[in-house]
């Protein structure tokens, strides 16, 4: 293997190891009888798999509320019983993030599932975020803010976020022609801001635009963050 490719592969492997480590620790925090919000994304993927192993090995009694088709299908394949918010509110929600700041504010939505994620995570008694250390930032904003938009409102929403100082980009699908279509049959605008001086106000301002379903700023929602690092798992709390 070429030296540069070998270094790149090792870096990817280190991140993957950190994700597995933090997902395992989160899964071990789950207790018998809990209702769980099951997030979406690569780190949460490992968490759901570990939960399935615990159900098989320890016969713990839990139920999951998926936040996307991806987490629904994975939970089903891992033999995790499925429920809904109509039937139960989650005791614990476990989800990943694209950015986490020192106040535990988040940017989420890289997987285009942030609308249901915000609903489930906010409804939980305890919201636990699991990430690798590359997601920890001093200030939110390097990652664009995902905004879920009703398709017929795409043009006016695009113009409004430009007025706010954002640079919007319609997220395009891979392995299919056209834009990404969410589980709610909407589009995603990824909006890059040069700065986000007040994340709380921006979250509200974006959601006040007619046609916006939800945005990826999760402000004052997370209770705890587990961070996978090369030195083990670190805890962040408010």
Q: Got the DSSP string for 132-186?
A: EGGGB-SSS-SS-EEEEE-GGGHHHHHHHHHHTT-EEEEPBPSSSSSB---TTS-
Q: Say how far apart CA 130 and CA 224 lie, in whole Å.
A: 9
Other CB atoms within a 10 A radius of the CB of residue 69 amount to: 11
- The dihedrals phi and psi of 175, each to the nearest 5 degrees, come to 70, 15
Q: Say how far apart CA 227 and CA 235 lie, in whole Å.
A: 6
Q: Say how far apart CA 56 and CA 236 lie, in whole Å.
A: 30
> What positions carry a catalytic annotation?
117
SS3 of 46-60? HHHHHHHHHHHHHCC
């Amino acid at each position: 293997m070429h030296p540069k490719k070998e270094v790149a592969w090792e870096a990817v492997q280190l991140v993957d190891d950190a994700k597995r480590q933090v997902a395992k620790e989160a899964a071990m925090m789950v207790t018998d009888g809990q209702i769980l919000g099951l997030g979406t994304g690569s780190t949460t993927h490992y968490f759901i798999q570990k939960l399935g192993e615990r159900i098989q090995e320890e016969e713990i009694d839990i139920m999951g509320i998926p936040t996307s088709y991806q987490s629904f299908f994975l939970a089903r394949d891992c033999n995790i019983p499925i429920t809904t918010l109509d039937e139960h509110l989650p005791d614990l929600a476990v989800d990943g993030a694209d950015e986490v700041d020192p106040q535990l504010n988040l940017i989420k939505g890289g997987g285009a599932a942030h609308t249901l994620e915000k609903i489930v995570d906010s409804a939980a008694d305890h919201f636990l975020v699991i990430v690798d250390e590359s997601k920890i930032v001093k200030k939110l904003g390097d990652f664009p803010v995902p905004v879920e938009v009703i398709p017929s409102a795409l043009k006016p929403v695009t113009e409004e976020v430009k007025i706010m100082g954002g640079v919007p980009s319609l997220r395009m699908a891979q392995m299919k022609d056209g834009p990404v279509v969410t589980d709610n049959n909407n589009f995603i605008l990824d909006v890059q801001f040069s700065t986000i001086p007040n994340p709380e106000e921006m979250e509200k301002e974006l959601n006040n635009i007619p046609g916006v379903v939800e945005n990826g700023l999760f402000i004052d929602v997370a209770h705890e963050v587990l961070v996978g690092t090369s030195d083990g798992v670190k805890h962040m709390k408010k």
